[in-house]
Amino acid sequence: METVNSTFQYCDQLVRDFEKVVTTPILNKSSVYYTGVDLGTAYIVLAVLDENYQPVAGAYRFASVVKDGMVVDYIGAIRIVKELKQEIEEKLGTELIYAAAALPPGTNSLDSGAIRHVVQGAGFEITNVLDEPTAANAVLKIKDGAIVDIGGGTTGTAILKDGKVIHVDDEPTGGTHFSLVISGAYKMSFEDADQYKRDFKNHRELIPVLRPVIEKVSSIISRHIHEYPVKEIYLVGGTCCLEGIEDIIAKQTNLPTYKPQNPMFVTPLGIALNCTQEIL
């Protein structure tokens, strides 16, 4: 476990620093700002780093402009990214120019154009579009194993060997499905179920209710990794904030399964770390 703790040392510190600057941005002037734009199924997150790639500001908003990894509300996506960009610019007193974005694994040919246009439509110069697991690994710094990104709509699995992604897969099943199960079990609206799921006080009670969906996620992971010599699984994505999810996945896959302190912000920070000043 020692090695895993040291693995997450950089990640957890970066996330903690980011959480602080979301509330209180760092106003020291930087020669350049790098922005990561994460268009998630549940949240749109903007992470802003300074010239030394340290977090200085951030913002996020609940949104339903993406479904199963695909942009379904193009105008809505541009509007929210533009509003978050302006919100951060007002706080920092500067214009944000450069941004990078990311795609769920396996959707590049389908959706890279749409995501690129959303970021450009919001007023950014786009400098990089990469896959989400590669982005996450800029923060996790995993050499070998599987990074599993459980987002709002999909579960993306990436196999890493010597720090490089050698195989990626993405399948529908994520936080939306968790909320649907809660909605049915508790006879509440989808929106209320979604809120109920986000409250950490309810997690212990929800684990038995959500176990079948978590087991389905586990079977997706097992299917995608079975041909590779994966020894460890690392979880990221907002849905992984559910306390105890890693224990069920570990039991179902028979592999040690770990997650950082706040898995929701790992990918957006990784996207920002991959931002440059070279426009695509």
Q: What is the pTM (predicted TM-score) of this model?
A: 0.91
Residues of the chain below pLDDT 50 = 1-3
Nearest to 179 by CA among 168, 193, 169, 192: 193
- In the structure encoding, which two tokens stand for residue 153, read together? 């709509």
The verdict on residue 67 lying in a domain is: yes
Q: What is the pLDDT of residue 237?
A: 92
pLDDT single digits (tens) 124-161: 999 999 988 889 999 999 999 999 999 888 898 999 99
15 phi, psi to nearest 5 deg: -65, -45
Q: What is the pLDDT of residue 157?
A: 92
C-beta of residue 196 within 8 angstroms of C-beta of residue 202:
yes
Could you tell me if 36 and 162 lie in one domain? no
The verdict on residue 278 lying in a domain is: no
Could you tell me if 164 and 203 lie in one domain? yes
Domain enclosing residue 38, as ranges: 2-136+265-273
Could you tell me if 146 and 127 lie in one domain? no
Q: What is the pLDDT of residue 111?
A: 57
Could you tell me if 230 and 269 lie in one domain? no
3 state SS for the chain: CHHHHHHHHHHHHHHHHHHHHHHCCCCCCCCCCEEEEEECCCEEEEEEECCCCCEEEEEEEECCCEECCEECCHHHHHHHHHHHHHHHHHHHCCCCCEEEEEECCCCHHHHHHHHHHHHHHCCCEEEEEEEHHHHHHHHHCCCCEEEEEECCCEEEEEEEECCEEEEEEEEECCHHHHHHHHHHHHCCCHHHHHHHHHCHHHHHHHHHHHHHHHHHHHHHHHHHHCCCCCCCEEEECHHHHCCCHHHHHHHHHCCCEECCCCHHHHHHHHHHHCCCCCCC
The verdict on residue 279 lying in a domain is: no
Could you tell me if 117 and 148 lie in one domain? no
The verdict on residue 183 lying in a domain is: yes
**Radius of gyration from C-alpha coordinates of the chain:** 18
Could you tell me if 62 and 174 lie in one domain? no
Could you tell me if 220 and 126 lie in one domain? no
Considering its fold, how many domains does the chain have in total? 2
Could you tell me if 175 and 238 lie in one domain? yes
pLDDT single digits (tens) 153-183: 889 899 999 998 899 888 888 999 999 999 9
- Residues contacting residue 145 through CB under 8 Å, at least 6 positions apart: 159, 160, 230, 231, 232, 233, 234
Could you tell me if 117 and 26 lie in one domain? yes
Q: What is the pLDDT of residue 36?
A: 98
pLDDT single digits (tens) 22-43: 999 999 999 999 999 998 877 8
Could you tell me if 91 and 165 lie in one domain? no
C-beta of residue 156 within 8 angstroms of C-beta of residue 168:
yes
Q: What is the pLDDT of residue 4?
A: 54
Could you tell me if 156 and 78 lie in one domain? no
Could you tell me if 119 and 197 lie in one domain? no
CATH classification of the domain holding 14: 3.30.420.40
The verdict on residue 280 lying in a domain is: no
